Structure 1
Amino acid sequence: MDIARRSLLAMAAFAGGAAMSTRTSAQSAVAPADPTETLRLWPGRAPGGEGVSVTGVVTERSTDPAFHDRFAQYTTDPLMTVFRPERPNGSALLLIPGGGYRWSVVDKEGFDVARVFAASGTTCFVLRYRLPGDGWAAGADAPLQDPQRAIRLIRSRSAEFDLDPKRIAILGASAGGHLAGLASARTDAVYADIDAADHASFRPDLSILMYPVATMADPFVHAGSRDYLLGSSPSPERIAAYSLERMAWRGAAPVFLVHAIDDASVPVENSLQLLSTLKAHQVRAEAHLFQEGGHGFGVRLIQGRPAEAWPDLVRTWAKRLDFAL
């Protein structure tokens, strides 16, 4: 009995120690360090800022030291955070996180996703862009000025980053997917050239749109994104002008769409309607619809579920297009 009792006590102590070790390990986990390399988009003030008086702020929502969940508001000096891979494969990826045009998230669809693609050799640039409600002269086109300028900067400095200037991809999520879609579809520059970098093309060579806010029209619009981009009562003409599925995509780069069917924030019809438009305009496109995943899953929120495969699906698709990601 004594031996049995001692054995049970020892087992309990071991189990308690293992649990303590697990808790200690979880508690000691810290979020990976941010890259220190950033690129300002504009040599001076961003265009059209004469009436802008806001002050930029970045807010942390996470209470878990293992990961960040930040969002940026009132950005006046847009920038790119650079993730340089150990072995560059010659491709670049500009990431545009979501935020409903109210703010721009930093980690979930930015830094977290950039680390995944940088690990396979892609040089990643996470964009912190301006928002339409902050008083910029260009209004709804102010956010688009930033990815157009960003792609031109990346392309004009491709030698510096060991990049092929013909292999610059864009990845946008949610409202960032709408902005990436505008950057992919529109052929008009929305700001005046300011230096030699603006002689380069601003259109991407590949587009990845994750659960994109594609339409500005009812019944499938994400109303918050429309309100912050176009105001509370936009005209039918303005709605049409900013709805991706109503744009002339012919001649655009290939597009990859990712969406969850159970997305309750941005209905999957946003991607389905856009896919029909891409097909009609003979744009090479591929779409992956997952039964579950909700909205805004990025890479961290879908671990262990089928949608976790989306980065590998993107890489396989891009490889068929002779584009390493």
Structure 2
Amino acid sequence: MKLIYTVLFVVLLNYYTLAQEKAALYAEIPNATKSAEALGQENIPMLYLYDVKGAKDAVLIIPGGGYQHVAINHEGHEVAKEFNEHGYSAFVLYYRLPKEETMLDRKIGPLQDAQRAMQYIGEHYQFNKVGVLGFSAGGHLAASLSNHFDDLKIDNKAAVKIRPDFSVLVYPVISMEEGITHQGSKKNLLGENPSAADEAYFSLEKQVFKKTPPTFLVHAEDDNAVILANTQRYKAALDKAKVPGAVFLYQAGGHGFGLLNKTDERKWSAEMFNWLKKIK
């Protein structure tokens, strides 16, 4: 019996210490106003590694937080473990928040980190497919990555693949248009008085095209923080571009429920994993 408990302890220890494995994204952080030492730990992007031995596919997970903080536990680490249980390797991105005091160009900082995360995975691993999953403002960043993968904000001399093979957007911020956008995310990313060009570039329903990855969307109809119109507009854009897409809706649940919507016994992740098996 003692041996069984010892083995179980070692297995659990190995499982949970996966979250402690992390890698710095850059040797030298681009678009920074200060050195890494001067920036402080909270402004240094990191990638948390949840690798599954023998996994054929992987996902980059981007937590939300309104571009004001990174909700890395319930929209990051917990989600990575769920993917591990389904045989996927997972990578959780702690990205830089857009700040004028730390960035030369605040609006591209998070996108740089998302592009670099895909590049890092491609440099260090070999998977059949690597997708992206984002929540809320992290969903906006995931959608930005899914549509602006050819507009590189980082060096990529080795031409490592940046485009995700699939995209999962959970209660995502999509549009920067008034009446639709999440004002906090928009202000934090683009500032007080963004240009029309910047608003259009980061209104992802306007950026969908034929190479946008197949996309699974999740939303609650009673979400008053990031309204359902964001998901509806993105799905309409996918349909217009003839990109495979699916929407999983809850009647209730509000915003920020992560993996578990306590108002509904259905798990959106179960539907998502089934969908992932079907897409090409």
TM-score > 0.5 by shorter chain: yes
Q: What is the aligned partner in structure 2 of residue 259 from structure 1? A: 219
Distance 1:54 1:200 in 2: 28
The answer to whether 1:305 aligns with 2:264 is yes
Structure 2 counterpart of 1:190, one-letter code: K
Q: What amino acid is aligned across from residue 132 of structure 1 in structure 2?
A: P
Contact 1:51–1:137, Cα closer than 8 Å, also in 2: no
What is the aligned counterpart of 1:190 among 153, 172, 196? 153
Alignment of structure 1 residues 285-300 onto 2, 5 Å: 285-300=245-260
Alignment equivalent of 1:280, drawn from 232, 236, 240: 240
Q: In 1, distance between residues paired with 2:208 and 2:105?
A: 22
The runs of 4+ residues in structure 1 deviating greater than 6 Å are none
CA contact (8 A) 1:130 1:146 kept: yes
In structure 2, the CA distance between the partners of 1:309 and 1:88, relative to structure 1 (3 Å rule), is: farther
Could you list the runs of 5+ residues in structure 1 that have no partner in the other structure?
1-31, 57-73
Give the whole-Å Cα distance in 1 for the aligned partners of 2:263 and 2:83: 19
- 2: CA distance, partners of 1:38 / 1:318: 26
Q: Which residue of 2 aligns with 1:127?
A: 93
For residue 79 of structure 1, the aligned residue among 46, 49, 68 is 46
Contact 1:101-1:229 within 8 A present in 2 as well: yes
Give the letter for the 2:154 counterpart.
Y
Task: Tell me the TM-score normalised to structure 1 length.
Answer: 0.76
- Give the CA deviation at 1:284: 0.9
Code of the residue aligned with 2:264 in structure 1: it is: R
Question: Unaligned stretches of 5+ in structure 2?
Answer: 1-15
Paired with 1:304 and 1:49, the residues of 2 have a C-alpha distance of: 43
Q: Residue 32 of structure 2 is aligned with which of 31, 40, 49? A: 49
- 3-state secondary structure, aligned to 1:130: coil
Structure number, greater radius of gyration: 1
* SS in structure 2 at match of 1:104: coil
* Structure-2 residue corresponding to 1:318: 276
1:51 deviates by 4.2
Partner AA of 1:142 in structure 2:
G
Is this contact kept in 1: 2:250–2:264, CA < 8 A? no
Q: Distance in 1 between matches of 2:263 and 2:34?
A: 47
C-alpha distance after superposition, 1:171-226 (max 9, x if no partner): 00000000000000012101233x64xx2111100000000000111101100000
Cα distance in structure 2, aligned partners of 1:80 and 1:286:
28
Alignment of 1:1-325 (within 5 A): 35-42=19-26, 44-51=27-34, 53-56=38-41, 74-76=42-44, 78-85=45-52, 88-133=54-99, 134-159=101-126, 163-164=127-128, 167-186=129-148, 187-193=150-156, 196=158, 199-300=159-260, 302-303=261-262, 305-306=264-265, 308-321=266-279
Report if aligned partners of 1:75, 1:128 keep a CA contact under 8 Å in 2. Answer: no
Cα distance between partner residues in 1 of 2:263 and 2:194: 41
Equivalent residues, number: 261
Report the RMSD for the aligned CA atoms in angstroms: 1.8
**TM-score, structure 2 as length reference:** 0.88
Q: Distance in 2 between matches of 1:88 and 1:104?
A: 30
Identity of aligned residues (%): 34
Q: Secondary structure at the match of 1:39?
A: strand
Q: CA deviation at 1:249?
A: 2.3
CA distance in 1, matches of 2:97, 2:151: 20
What is the CA-CA distance between 1:103 and the residue it aligns to? Answer: 1.3
Q: What is the CA distance between 1:84 and its match in structure 2?
A: 2.5
CA distance in 1, matches of 2:102, 2:22: 25
Rounded Cα–Cα distance in structure 1 between residues aligned with 2:176 and 2:68: 16
